[in-house]
Amino acid sequence: MNREKYTLITGAGTGFGKALALECARLGHPLVLVSLPGPELSCLADFIRKNHQVPVISVETDLSEEGNCIALYNRIRNAGIRINVLINNAGIGGTDRFEKKAMSFYKKQLQVNVLAPTFLSYLFLDELKSNSPSHILNVSSMAGFFCVPQKQVYGGSKSYLLSFSGSLALELKKQNISVSVVCPGAMNTTDSLTWQNKKASHILKWSVMNPERVASIALKKMFAKRKVIIPGFWNNVICLLHRLLPEWFRVFLMEQQLKRIERKQDPQKQGLAGTVSIAA
């Protein structure tokens, strides 16, 4: 049996998951990296082995299927891999009016954003208990705090992770398992998102962070057993304002945000007939 303790990260092939994997590797943690099938994961695993000299196991699977979550757990258990950090990062985003997406999209979004982290936390719980001190980090979003226009199901799924993590943290505290939830704001994880973030309103533009910085903050505070992690000065300001402002004014701000999004989506309102911009 391998006596080293591993960190398992889902959604590790690209974006924030990749940044988390690289930061864990820099800290010297052996890794189990999980992502959808594709070349990105194997390239990342090879890079980490070459540049950080830590053991890496890569698993390509689709966590929207419950059976794949169980198969992942069985594969890790049968290989004798000991897990003491579980990072539930995999998620499906999306920005659109509610009626514009198919039910199949929302089903898969909820399976990945809600059910997969729930199932994996359940499946690996005994493993985390036996390898304590252990940590669970669930990746939520700033959208979990607010009613964000055109992110209704996504925001709801991230609100679930906030509530789930808080309750689980209370249950597992005496068993030396810390449960944290990180709530990033906008991040420059792809070229298209970087472009979108540049078009955001002032305070949202100021809050944009690079995923590498967010990963560093998230892991540092996870190991410090911080329950709710809000990376960045401006994201904390936004949360503070949300608590202090009256509800009618918060609703007004969100209505203005919805109008801004719809103007970006409507080429006639922009005088750009025949083209459609991507909304932030």
Q: What is the pLDDT of residues 33-66, one digit of tens each?
A: 999 999 999 999 999 999 999 999 999 999 999 9
Q: Residue 270: its pLDDT value, please?
A: 44
How many residues are recorded in the chain? 280
pLDDT of residue 209 exceeding 50, the answer is: yes
pLDDT of residue 195 exceeding 80, the answer is: no
Q: Considering only 75-84, 178-187, 231-240, which range has the smallest mean pLDDT?
A: 231-240
Question: Which helix H or strand E contains 56, and what residues bound it?
Answer: strand 56-60
Record the tokens describing residue 161, joined without a space. Answer: 């992770």
pLDDT of residue 200 exceeding 70, the answer is: no
Q: Residue 279: its pLDDT value, please?
A: 30
* Distance separating alpha carbons of residues 2 and 93, to the nearest angstrom: 36
Q: Residue 5: its pLDDT value, please?
A: 97
Tell me which amino acid residue 89 is: N
User: Where do the DSSP E strands lie in 112-241?
Assistant: 134-139, 177-182, 228-229
Which whole-number Å values give the CA distances from 213 to 93, 184, 191, in the listed order? Answer: 21, 11, 17
Record the tokens describing residue 43, joined without a space. Answer: 């390239």
Q: Residue 101: its pLDDT value, please?
A: 93
Is the CB of residue 8 less than 8 Å from the CB of residue 89?
Answer: no
- Which CATH superfamily groups domain 5-244? NAD(P)-binding Rossmann-like Domain (3.40.50.720)
Q: Which residue, among 173, 169, 185, 170, has the nearest Cα to 230 in the 3D structure?
A: 185
- Tell me the three state secondary structure of residue 108: helix
Is the CB of residue 131 less than 8 Å from the CB of residue 84?
Answer: yes
What is the per-residue pLDDT across 68-115, written as a single tens digit (0 to 9) for each? 999 999 999 999 999 999 999 999 998 888 899 999 999 999 999 999
Binned at pLDDT 50, 70 and 90, residue 206 comes out as: low
Q: Residue 274: its pLDDT value, please?
A: 33
The residue extents of the domains of the chain are 5-244, 245-280
Mean pLDDT of the chain: 87
Chain center to CA of 265:
26
